[in-house]
Amino acid sequence: MHPALWVSQSGLDAQQTNMTVTSNNLANVSTNGFKKNAAIFKDLMYQKIRQPGATTAGDGQLPSGLMLGAGVKLSGTEKDFRNGAFERTDRALDMAISGKGFFQVMRPDGTMGYTRDGKFQLNSDGEVVTSEGLRLQPAINIPQDAKNINITSNGIVSVTISGQMAPQEIGPIELVDFINEGGLEPIGDNLYLETNASGAPIVAQAATDGMGSIDQGALEASNVNVVEELVKLIQIQRSYEMNAKSIETVDGMLQYVSQVL
C-alpha cells in the first residue's frame, strides 16, 4: 500500500475530530460559563531514510537528512478558561466570577463538582442550588421571610428580614481554584471534576488571594467567538478536501501503474 494513503487517512481522521471539537464549541455558544475547546495535534513518527550529518562516500557531510513523515495524530484537547462576556440579568441569585475561580457544588454521590455557571436558585428548604438541584458549598440558606438578598464582590451574603432594619449576614461564598485548571475533567451539566493533573482544589474567599470577584445580578456567557469558529470550519473543510484529494491522486497513480505495467 502506498504510504501516502495512510498519511492522508490520518489527516482525514484528524480533521473529523477537529470538526467534532469545533461543532461542540458552536453548539454551546449560548451555554452559561462554557469554555471553548481546541484540538491539539502532533506529527507521527518519521521513517529515517538518511541521517542528517551522515558521512558521504567522499568523506563529506550531509547537510540535511531524508525523513518521511507518517501523518498526524490527536494528542489532546485543551480548554480556554479566559472569561466570557457578562450578561446583566439583575436576578439576586445570578452570579458571575470576574477572574479566576469556580463555584463548588455538592454532587449526589457526596463528591464536589466545580462550575463557572452562576445561575443559582432556591430549593424548597431555602438552600441555594444549581438548576440541577446541586447545593452550593459552603451551604447558603436563605430565610423564608427574607425580602432582599445582597452579595458583595468578596462573596458575603446578607439578607433583609421583614420587620428588621439592619441586614443579616448569613454566610460567605467561597471560590475554588486549581494550579492547572486545564487538567480538570469536564463531565457535562457545566461541571468539572478534580483530577491528578489539575491538582488539589485551592479554596479561598472571593476577591482574596488572587481569586476572582463576584458580580451579583450577572451571568458569564460562553467564551466561544462565533466568527473564529466559522473561520476554523472553513479551514477544516479545506484541509479535509485536500487530504481526500491526495487519496484520489494516489489512487489514480496506482490505477495508472496497474493498467500500463
194 and 112 belong to one structural domain: yes
213 and 130 belong to one structural domain: yes
pLDDT at 160 over 70: yes
Mean pLDDT confidence for 3-14? 93
List pLDDT tens digits, range 170-181: 999 999 999 999
Q: How confident is the model at residue 155 (pLDDT cuts 50, 70, 90)?
A: very high
212 and 229 belong to one structural domain: no
Domain coverage including residue 13: 3-81+224-260
- Residues above pLDDT 70, as percent of the chain: 98
137 and 168 belong to one structural domain: yes
What average pLDDT does the structure give for the chain? 93
206 and 100 belong to one structural domain: yes
List pLDDT tens digits, range 104-152: 999 999 999 999 999 999 999 999 999 999 999 999 999 988 889 999 9
Mean pLDDT confidence for 183-200? 97
21 and 91 belong to one structural domain: no
Q: How confident is the model at residue 47 (pLDDT cuts 50, 70, 90)?
A: confident
- Indicate if the alpha-carbon torsion angle 178, 196, 116, 31 is positive or negative: positive
DSSP 181: G
> How many angstroms separate the Cα of 48 from the Cα of each of 1, 54, 64, 125, 148?
19, 12, 12, 68, 72
Helix (H, G, I), strand (E, B) or coil at 108: coil
144 and 214 belong to one structural domain: yes
204 and 105 belong to one structural domain: yes
How many structural domains does the chain have?
2
91 and 206 belong to one structural domain: yes
90 and 169 belong to one structural domain: yes
Q: Does the pTM of the predicted model rise above 0.95?
A: no
71 and 93 belong to one structural domain: no
165 and 109 belong to one structural domain: yes
List pLDDT tens digits, range 223-256: 999 999 999 999 999 999 999 999 999 888 888 8
Q: On the CB side of 12, how many CA atoms lie within 13 Å of its CA?
A: 14
Pairwise CA distance, residues 228 & 125, whole Å: 44
Q: Where are the alpha helices (DSSP H) in the chain?
A: 3-27, 226-260
Pairwise CA distance, residues 11 & 44, whole Å: 11
Nearest to 233 by CA among 77, 20, 80: 20
pLDDT at 1 over 70: no
